[in-house]
Amino acid sequence: MSETTGHDLSGIQYEGKQDHSLSRVALVVSKWNTEITEALFEGASFALKEAGIPASHIIRADVPGSYELPWGAQCVLDADPEVDGVILLGCVIQGETRHFDFICDAVAQGCMRVGLDHKKPVIFGVLTPDTQQQALDRAGGKYGNKGIEAAVALLEMLDLQNSL
- Of 54, 58, 64, 56, which Cα lies nearest the Cα of 29? 64
State yes or no: pLDDT of 133 exceeds 50.
Answer: yes
**CA–CA separation, 77 and 81 (whole Å):** 6
The arithmetic mean of pLDDT across residues 130-138, rounded, is: 94
DSSP output for 30-81: ESTTHHHHHHHHHHHHHHHHHTT--GGGEEEEEESSGGGHHHHHHHHHHH-T
Complete domains list, the chain, with CATH: 22-163 (3.40.50.960)
Per annotation, catalytic residue among 20, 57, 99, 118? 99
57 in active site: no
Average pLDDT value for the chain: 92
Q: Using one digit for the tens of pLDDT, what is the confidence trace for 44-89?
A: 999 999 999 999 999 999 999 999 999 999 999 999 999 999 999 9
Q: Using one digit for the tens of pLDDT, what is the confidence trace for 12-39?
A: 788 888 999 999 999 999 999 999 999 9
Question: Looking at the DSSP assignment, which residues form a beta bridge with residue 123?
Answer: 87
Rg (CA), the chain: 15
Q: How far is CA 43 from the centre of its chain?
A: 10
